[in-house]
Amino acid sequence: MNPICTIATALLLSAGTLVAQPKPEAPRAPAAPKAPAAPKPPAAPVTPVVATSAAPEGPSTLERYLKIRVPGAPALAPDGTLYVRDWPDGIFQLYRINGPAAKPEASRTKLTNFADGLGGYSLSPDGKTILLSHAVGGNENTQISVLDVATGAITPACSDPKVQFSVNLWLDDSSGFIYTGNAESPTDFYIYKYDLATKAVTKLLARPGSWGAADISNDGTRLLVGEYRSISDSSIYELNTSSGALTDLTPPRPAGVTTSVNWVGFSPDEQIAYLTCDIEDGRMKLWSIDQSIDEPARRYSKPISALETAEVEGAFVNRQKTLLAVNTNEDGYGVAHVYRLPALTEVPLPAIEPGVVGLNQLEGDRLVWSLSNARTPGVAFTTDLSAPTPTATQITFADTQGLDLSAFPLPELVRFKSFDGLEIPAFLWTPKGFSKGTPIPFIVNYHGGPEGQFRPTFNATSQYLLEAGFGILQPNVRGSTGYGRVFHMKDDYKKRWDSVRDGVLAAEWLVANNYATAGKIATYGGSYGGFMSVACLIEDQERVDAGDRPARMFGAGINVVGITNVKTFLEKTSGYRRKLREVEYGPLTDPDFLNSISSMNRIDKLKVPMFIAHGFNDPRVPVEEAMQLAVALKDRGLSPQLFIAPDEGHGFAKLDNRIYFTKRMSDFLSSTIAK
């Protein structure tokens, strides 16, 4: 027997419930939603075609939901060849589509066959080479291999099982690429250049910290780089690749004040560089820096006034440096904008219905973009931006498994006041036929991060649970991104438990508004959401014990790859992540505080049924977090349900694991809050 499986089995038996060991493989499910209070769609929005497949014979309803899929990460080569990352066999691999669009029935050529799937890929500017990112068993030590498009041969480029490599960008002439890796220090990511012809590696920057590159000048001598310390603290520089000189171009900030800042890219003449920064009123905005002006006070400006009112969540410049693409986050909805350089005149886009628009590729005047909302699972389109009236051509199509996606419920964007008056936004989902005022079993779903955000995107698992009769509330508690710097820093360090109070008040809001009944609500979350799921059960019980209310709000809890002991989590997580997480949760030098927010130290307050799930190879939140919680509950006479996937990491990427987990989770909810 596989030794890892043997260890996992022993641990599972000691904790309580042993589960089956799965096989095949597929993707991780997203979050879910789509709602009213977003930007109104223009006159005739693009209507994606999604109903393209008949109901298959045999599979259960659950399997049909979880097998809904759409080819992802679409990229078009210069000759028009379409590449996608897809999982028709249950695990992500790279495919070349033999035709103009990726429809379920379209002919395709499978280009990779990694045992644990393809993490991502990057197509060279000339379309002759593809960089492949892949890891083993969910360990996140991403390796980089090179695919020769002409021959199909795959060769390793950056290969060391103990190192995490990441592709940053291609050189303009396709001769090589810039990447980062932590080979020389497990806690630091340096910047390197790889030459495809010679396979030579040149170290460009080797300073302590997490470094990355965003754009490079046409002559290859000026590299825009950044150092990431936390979501609220980063710096940007220009690196001279010849001399190694590093020029700090971070916008001036008061002493002791941190900012989040990221490079976007160069202007056509490379005298101006664009960046995003939250230095003004705490929201990420688009800025530019004119490097031909020496005086710092004059060279930073906000070049597009139309973007002032929204949070800029991402932006990039095309390789030709003729177009600037910007995504804004508007109450969770993702809105796309494109501007022509250098004048920054806005380029009209096709009308798009509300949801989250992703900008996948911008090459010349060709934009590849995708749309995800509650009824559209991320289908992709191309738009020719040079056309007088740009239109959308759909290039990926969903395999719907015969389900009518157009009938899927949409969420409502709601808000509730927390203990200190802070307004918490949330997406509220109710099943078809729900009658307001008639309580139903509800799930309060907490996102990970903590710097995450629930968005109105497609989620098959949520739709399955809605079909089963459950309601879902997804609160963006303090600490969430998308609402400005002040909001996402309100849970840092000593303020950690304030976000837990938000999470419990979400359930109280459901009861107060007659959506649910006390005791018929479950917590559910993954990663930091798992921390929230357990912590909210504790806070809920402590309110009852203190006499604040007569009954618990929650009747069950689901913890997926969650943190239960913050101190042991920080001690055992990957070294490079420890530095980032200590900013959020507090340093290991303050063990008393870390212990105070650890659910393991309030285990006596956990009095409701729990379902715990984890990946054995998780490098972010080690599996010991799940084990110690399960064993502690069992020692107290409780019987937690437990699922440990021996072949997974931080979440469940493989289809059989996802089907098994979701079936167990659904049965658990039915036997607890739905009784």
pTM comes to 0.84
Q: Long-range CB contacts (< 8 A, 24+ apart) of 93-97?
A: 93/117, 93/118, 94/118, 94/121, 94/130, 94/132, 94/147, 95/71, 97/71
Answer yes or no: is pLDDT of 26 > 70: no
* pLDDT, position 489: 86
Answer yes or no: is pLDDT of 21 > 50: no
* pLDDT, position 404: 93
Q: How confident is the model at residue 396 (pLDDT cuts 50, 70, 90)?
A: very high
* pLDDT, position 543: 96
Answer yes or no: is pLDDT of 58 > 70: no
* pLDDT, position 168: 97
* pLDDT, position 52: 53
Whether 615 contacts 650, CB under 8 Å: yes
Q: Which amino acid is at 177?
A: F
* pLDDT, position 137: 84
Per domain, the residue ranges of the chain are 3-25+405-488+497-579+609-671
Q: How confident is the model at residue 12 (pLDDT cuts 50, 70, 90)?
A: very low
The secondary structure of residue 49, as a DSSP letter, is -
Q: How confident is the model at residue 55 (pLDDT cuts 50, 70, 90)?
A: low
Query: How many Cα atoms occupy the beta-carbon half-sphere of 620 within 13 Å?
Result: 20
* Tens digit of each residue's pLDDT (9 = 90 or more) over 275-312: 999 998 889 999 999 988 777 666 899 999 999 888 99
* Tens digit of each residue's pLDDT (9 = 90 or more) over 419-446: 999 999 999 999 999 998 899 999 999 9
Distances (CA, A) of 271 to 53, 75, 98, 214, 321: 51, 29, 42, 16, 12
Helix (H, G, I), strand (E, B) or coil at 379: strand
238 or 584, greater pLDDT? 238
CA distance 520 to 674: 7
Q: Which helix (H) or strand (E) holds 465?
A: helix 460-467
Average pLDDT of the chain? 89
Strands 143-148 and 154-158: antiparallel
CA distance 431 to 463: 9
Q: How many helices (H) and strands (E) does the chain have?
A: 12, 36
Answer yes or no: is pLDDT of 599 > 60: yes
The top-level CATH class assigned to 3-25+405-488+497-579+609-671 is alpha beta
Q: What SS3 string covers 197-241? A: CCCCEEEEECCCCEEEEEEECCCCCEEEEEEEEECCEEEEEEEEC
* pLDDT, position 57: 61
Q: Long-range CB contacts (< 8 A, 24+ apart) of 336-340?
A: 336/369, 337/306, 337/307, 338/362, 338/367, 338/385, 339/304
Whether 379 contacts 30, CB under 8 Å: no
* pLDDT, position 232: 86
Considering only the C-alpha atoms of the chain, give the largest distance between any 2 of them, rounded to a whole number of Å.
Answer: 72
Query: How many Cα atoms occupy the beta-carbon half-sphere of 497 within 13 Å?
Result: 13
Whether 50 contacts 399, CB under 8 Å: no
200: which 2 tokens?
């030579």
Lowest-confidence pick of 137-141, 173-177, 266-270: 137-141
